[in-house]
Amino acid sequence: MITIKSLKRIDFEIIYNAFAKAFADYEVLPLSSDQILQMVTRRGFDPELSFGAFDDNELVSFTLNGIGNWNGKNTAYDTGTGTVKEYRGKGLAKKIFQDSVPVLKENGISQYLLEVLQHNDKAVNLYRNQGFEVTREFDYFTADKSDLNFVNVKLNNDLEIKEINIPDYNMVSSFLDFEPSWQNSFDSIYRTFQSFKSIGVFNDNKLVGYGITELNSGDITQLAVHKEYRRKGVGTILLKQLIDIIPGESIKIINTEKDCTSIKSFLKSINFKPAGSQFEMIKSL
């Protein structure tokens, strides 16, 4: 018999085993238990407000919810929804969502946020049917270090580049061409700040550009330059410095806003390849 319940007292290894089974045939690289835990922790994972479908004691379908603030509202964010292959087609993801909404509302959550691959028609239609609306479209890019083509750019003598602490949002918000997605937001970065490195460019001790990367995943999370210092090679040098400190070969830049042509042109000029697109979707609860 299938039962839906909170994951509050469920050992994370059980969640990980279900995650690994659910995504075994998807277009994602295999990740260890520690890597999955770091990923969902970064995204605000709250086991008490996450839910799963159990066949006896086996977790066969799940939604791992992150909890936080988004645009001034208490928000649940889908950090990962999956169903073990043998249990697909039974409506379990829909049932989990429907059962979870009253609990989320009781806990003061007023909206639900998620991202979904645009080519995943089945999932997109499921979310639309549940009342989700598209709020933004994102592109994501990947590259191997050996494929990247950096021009020889040097900083002006009055600019200095060095490792810095993660900057405060209020300090750099004017640098941004678009608001970072949930997983790239400062709130998400601060949750696992020890796994990130940040590089800054300074003019007379004033920060004029910065970049942030999560080292183990090869994820370049944020890259932004003060508008007065663009087209001076600052972004190129920041990106090269970040790539140089990432230990692996594979680099990802996820959730760049599709309408932001400047970042798209910049990444393509260095030989990053478009790898796909996502919808950001929100439902009021």
Both 96 and 147 in a single domain? no
Q: Which pLDDT score, from 0 to 100, does residue 29 have?
A: 60
Sorting pLDDT into bands at 50, 70 and 90, what band is 224? Answer: very high
**How many secondary structure helices (H) and strands (E) does the chain include?**
8, 12
Both 78 and 12 in a single domain? yes
CA distance 266 to 247: 23
Report the pLDDT averaged over residues 112-128.
Answer: 94
Both 92 and 193 in a single domain? no
Asked whether the predicted pLDDT for residue 156 surpasses 90, the reply is no
Both 65 and 161 in a single domain? no
CA distance 184 to 71: 14
Domain hosting residue 18, numbered range:
2-109
Which contacts qualify for 152-156: CB closer than 8 Å, 24 or more apart? 153/233, 153/236, 153/237, 154/233, 154/237, 155/201, 155/233, 155/234, 155/237, 156/232
Q: Which pLDDT score, from 0 to 100, does residue 28 have?
A: 59
Report the pLDDT averaged over residues 35-41.
Answer: 94
Residues above pLDDT 90, as percent of the chain: 89
Q: Where are the alpha helices (DSSP H) in 158-233?
A: 169-172, 186-191
Both 232 and 163 in a single domain? yes
Which residue, of 94, 109, 124, is where some domain finishes? 109
Q: What is the pLDDT of residues 250-260, one digit of tens each?
A: 999 999 999 99
Both 169 and 273 in a single domain? yes
Asked whether the predicted pLDDT for residue 163 surpasses 90, the reply is yes
What is the DSSP code string of 5-18?
Answer: EE-TT--HHHHHHH
Q: Is residue 73 in a domain?
A: yes
Q: Where are the alpha helices (DSSP H) in the chain?
A: 12-22, 33-42, 92-106, 121-129, 169-172, 186-191, 234-245, 261-270
Both 174 and 73 in a single domain? no
Q: Is residue 118 in a domain?
A: no
Both 146 and 270 in a single domain? yes
Q: Is residue 104 in a domain?
A: yes
Report the pLDDT averaged over residues 90-110.
Answer: 96
Q: How many domains does the chain have?
A: 2
Q: Is residue 249 in a domain?
A: yes
CA distance 166 to 200: 9
> Closest by alpha carbon to 139, among 285, 19, 280, 283?
280
CA distance 201 to 229: 10
Asked whether the predicted pLDDT for residue 153 surpasses 80, the reply is no
Other Cβ atoms within 10 Å of 205 Cβ, number: 6
Q: Which pLDDT score, from 0 to 100, does residue 126 have?
A: 87
CATH code of the domain containing 160:
3.40.630.30
Asked whether the predicted pLDDT for residue 10 surpasses 90, the reply is yes
Both 204 and 261 in a single domain? yes
